Amino acid sequence: MASVIQEPLRVVKNNGKVVLNYVMYNEEFAIVDGTLTQAAIDDLYCLSDAMPGCCVHLSRHQPSVGRQMEADGAPFEDIFLREDPRGTYHGLEDDQVLYVYVEEEAAQRARDQARMRAIAQAMDGAPVRDSKGNIVRDDGRSMESCSCIYGNPCVDEYGCKDWDNRYAVAKKNGWKGF
Protein backbone atom coordinates (compact mmCIF):
# COMPACT_ATOMS: atom_id res chain seq x y z
CA MET A 1 0.00 0.00 0.00
CA ALA A 2 1.30 3.42 -0.97
CA SER A 3 1.82 5.91 1.79
CA VAL A 4 0.17 9.30 1.56
CA ILE A 5 2.36 12.22 2.44
CA GLN A 6 0.47 14.92 4.20
CA GLU A 7 1.65 18.48 3.94
CA PRO A 8 1.85 20.38 7.22
CA LEU A 9 -1.02 22.70 7.94
CA ARG A 10 -0.17 26.31 7.30
CA VAL A 11 -1.88 29.43 8.46
CA VAL A 12 -3.27 31.40 5.57
CA LYS A 13 -2.85 35.09 6.39
CA ASN A 14 -4.32 36.20 3.08
CA ASN A 15 -7.91 35.44 4.09
CA GLY A 16 -9.73 37.11 6.92
CA LYS A 17 -10.43 40.73 7.74
CA VAL A 18 -8.66 44.05 7.65
CA VAL A 19 -9.65 47.25 9.40
CA LEU A 20 -9.86 50.33 7.21
CA ASN A 21 -9.62 53.75 8.84
CA TYR A 22 -11.04 56.78 7.05
CA VAL A 23 -11.76 59.98 8.98
CA MET A 24 -14.36 58.78 11.52
CA TYR A 25 -14.83 55.33 9.99
CA ASN A 26 -13.06 52.31 11.42
CA GLU A 27 -14.66 49.21 9.89
CA GLU A 28 -13.67 45.63 9.13
CA PHE A 29 -13.60 44.33 5.55
CA ALA A 30 -13.29 40.73 4.42
CA ILE A 31 -10.27 39.87 2.30
CA VAL A 32 -9.86 36.84 0.07
CA ASP A 33 -6.45 35.81 -1.25
CA GLY A 34 -5.03 39.08 0.10
CA THR A 35 -7.25 41.29 -2.04
CA LEU A 36 -10.01 43.82 -1.59
CA THR A 37 -11.76 46.10 -4.09
CA GLN A 38 -12.71 49.76 -4.14
CA ALA A 39 -16.30 48.68 -4.82
CA ALA A 40 -16.40 46.77 -1.51
CA ILE A 41 -15.09 49.82 0.34
CA ASP A 42 -17.51 52.12 -1.46
CA ASP A 43 -20.45 49.86 -0.57
CA LEU A 44 -19.89 50.67 3.10
CA TYR A 45 -18.22 54.09 3.10
CA CYS A 46 -20.18 55.56 0.10
CA LEU A 47 -17.20 57.68 -0.94
CA SER A 48 -18.30 58.00 -4.57
CA ASP A 49 -21.63 59.43 -3.42
CA ALA A 50 -19.81 62.39 -1.87
CA MET A 51 -17.02 62.48 -4.47
CA PRO A 52 -18.20 61.09 -7.82
CA GLY A 53 -15.42 59.54 -9.88
CA CYS A 54 -12.97 59.43 -6.98
CA CYS A 55 -10.10 56.95 -6.68
CA VAL A 56 -9.48 55.17 -3.40
CA HIS A 57 -5.99 54.13 -2.31
CA LEU A 58 -4.95 52.10 0.72
CA SER A 59 -1.83 52.63 2.80
CA ARG A 60 -0.11 51.17 5.83
CA HIS A 61 0.80 54.74 6.79
CA GLN A 62 -1.40 57.09 8.80
CA PRO A 63 -2.53 60.11 6.75
CA SER A 64 -0.12 62.54 8.42
CA VAL A 65 2.82 60.25 7.62
CA GLY A 66 1.61 59.42 4.10
CA ARG A 67 1.03 63.08 3.20
CA GLN A 68 4.51 63.97 4.48
CA MET A 69 6.02 61.15 2.42
CA GLU A 70 4.10 62.46 -0.60
CA ALA A 71 5.39 66.00 0.05
CA ASP A 72 8.95 64.63 0.35
CA GLY A 73 8.62 63.05 -3.11
CA ALA A 74 8.30 59.39 -2.11
CA PRO A 75 7.16 57.16 -4.98
CA PHE A 76 3.47 56.18 -5.07
CA GLU A 77 4.31 52.51 -4.44
CA ASP A 78 6.19 53.37 -1.22
CA ILE A 79 3.11 55.08 0.20
CA PHE A 80 0.20 53.02 -1.13
CA LEU A 81 -0.58 49.33 -1.59
CA ARG A 82 -0.32 47.79 -5.05
CA GLU A 83 -3.44 48.07 -7.20
CA ASP A 84 -3.87 45.77 -10.20
CA PRO A 85 -6.12 46.67 -11.87
CA ARG A 86 -6.81 50.09 -10.40
CA GLY A 87 -9.21 49.73 -7.47
CA THR A 88 -8.17 46.15 -6.63
CA TYR A 89 -5.71 46.12 -3.73
CA HIS A 90 -3.16 43.32 -3.23
CA GLY A 91 -0.90 42.19 -0.40
CA LEU A 92 -3.42 42.47 2.42
CA GLU A 93 -3.14 40.24 5.48
CA ASP A 94 -5.56 39.17 8.17
CA ASP A 95 -5.83 41.56 11.16
CA GLN A 96 -4.04 44.35 9.31
CA VAL A 97 -4.96 47.99 9.96
CA LEU A 98 -4.87 50.20 6.87
CA TYR A 99 -5.71 53.78 6.01
CA VAL A 100 -8.00 54.97 3.22
CA TYR A 101 -6.90 57.87 1.03
CA VAL A 102 -9.37 59.38 -1.43
CA GLU A 103 -8.25 61.15 -4.58
CA GLU A 104 -11.06 63.29 -5.93
CA GLU A 105 -11.64 63.29 -9.69
CA ALA A 106 -10.06 66.43 -11.22
CA ALA A 107 -13.17 67.92 -12.84
CA GLN A 108 -15.24 67.30 -9.71
CA ARG A 109 -12.52 68.89 -7.57
CA ALA A 110 -12.60 72.00 -9.80
CA ARG A 111 -16.40 72.23 -9.44
CA ASP A 112 -16.15 71.84 -5.67
CA GLN A 113 -13.48 74.53 -5.46
CA ALA A 114 -15.62 76.92 -7.54
CA ARG A 115 -18.56 76.23 -5.25
CA MET A 116 -16.45 76.93 -2.17
CA ARG A 117 -15.23 80.20 -3.71
CA ALA A 118 -18.87 81.19 -4.25
CA ILE A 119 -19.69 80.35 -0.63
CA ALA A 120 -16.74 82.49 0.50
CA GLN A 121 -18.09 85.38 -1.61
CA ALA A 122 -21.47 85.00 0.05
CA MET A 123 -19.81 85.25 3.43
CA ASP A 124 -18.42 88.61 2.29
CA GLY A 125 -21.98 89.80 1.65
CA ALA A 126 -22.04 89.72 -2.15
CA PRO A 127 -24.88 87.74 -3.74
CA VAL A 128 -23.62 84.47 -5.16
CA ARG A 129 -24.88 83.25 -8.51
CA ASP A 130 -24.75 79.79 -10.02
CA SER A 131 -23.64 79.06 -13.60
CA LYS A 132 -27.10 80.10 -14.89
CA GLY A 133 -27.05 83.44 -13.09
CA ASN A 134 -29.49 82.38 -10.38
CA ILE A 135 -28.83 83.61 -6.87
CA VAL A 136 -27.72 80.83 -4.55
CA ARG A 137 -28.76 81.06 -0.93
CA ASP A 138 -26.43 80.17 1.95
CA ASP A 139 -28.37 76.98 2.59
CA GLY A 140 -27.44 75.62 -0.85
CA ARG A 141 -30.81 76.26 -2.50
CA SER A 142 -30.85 77.98 -5.84
CA MET A 143 -33.64 80.22 -6.96
CA GLU A 144 -34.83 81.48 -10.30
CA SER A 145 -33.50 84.64 -11.80
CA CYS A 146 -35.71 87.62 -12.60
CA SER A 147 -38.94 86.51 -14.30
CA CYS A 148 -40.25 90.05 -14.82
CA ILE A 149 -38.35 90.25 -18.10
CA TYR A 150 -40.35 87.25 -19.33
CA GLY A 151 -43.73 88.79 -18.49
CA ASN A 152 -44.23 87.33 -15.02
CA PRO A 153 -43.72 89.52 -11.92
CA CYS A 154 -41.11 88.07 -9.58
CA VAL A 155 -42.27 86.60 -6.30
CA ASP A 156 -38.88 86.75 -4.60
CA GLU A 157 -36.96 90.01 -4.32
CA TYR A 158 -33.57 88.27 -4.18
CA GLY A 159 -33.80 87.11 -7.78
CA CYS A 160 -35.54 90.21 -9.16
CA LYS A 161 -33.52 92.78 -11.07
CA ASP A 162 -35.98 95.62 -10.26
CA TRP A 163 -38.17 94.55 -7.33
CA ASP A 164 -39.80 97.95 -6.78
CA ASN A 165 -40.97 98.12 -10.41
CA ARG A 166 -41.57 94.40 -11.02
CA TYR A 167 -45.21 94.83 -12.11
CA ALA A 168 -44.36 97.55 -14.62
CA VAL A 169 -41.45 95.57 -16.02
CA ALA A 170 -43.59 92.41 -16.30
CA LYS A 171 -46.43 94.39 -17.98
CA LYS A 172 -43.95 95.88 -20.45
CA ASN A 173 -42.88 92.31 -21.30
CA GLY A 174 -46.36 90.88 -21.89
CA TRP A 175 -47.99 90.43 -18.49
CA LYS A 176 -51.70 91.23 -18.68
CA GLY A 177 -52.03 92.09 -15.00
CA PHE A 178 -54.49 90.87 -12.39
| pLDDT < 70 positions in the chain | 1-13, 122, 124-130, 133-144
Distance (Å, whole) CA 92 – CA 98: 9
Q: Is residue 25 located within the same domain as residue 96?
A: yes
My answer on whether 95 and 130 are in the same domain is: no
**What local confidence, expressed as pLDDT, does residue 2 receive?**
58
Claim to verify: residue 41 and residue 65 sit in the same structural domain: yes
**Amino acid 115: pLDDT:** 84
Predicted TM-score of the model (pTM): 0.57
Per the structure, the complete domain to which residue 133 belongs is given by 110-143
- Give the Å distances, CA to CA, from 95 to 13, 27, 34, 43, 109: 9, 12, 11, 21, 34
User: 24 and 96 in one domain?
Assistant: yes
Q: Based on the domain organization, do 94 and 29 belong to the same domain?
A: yes
Residue of 81, 67, 77 whose CA lies nearest to 37: 81
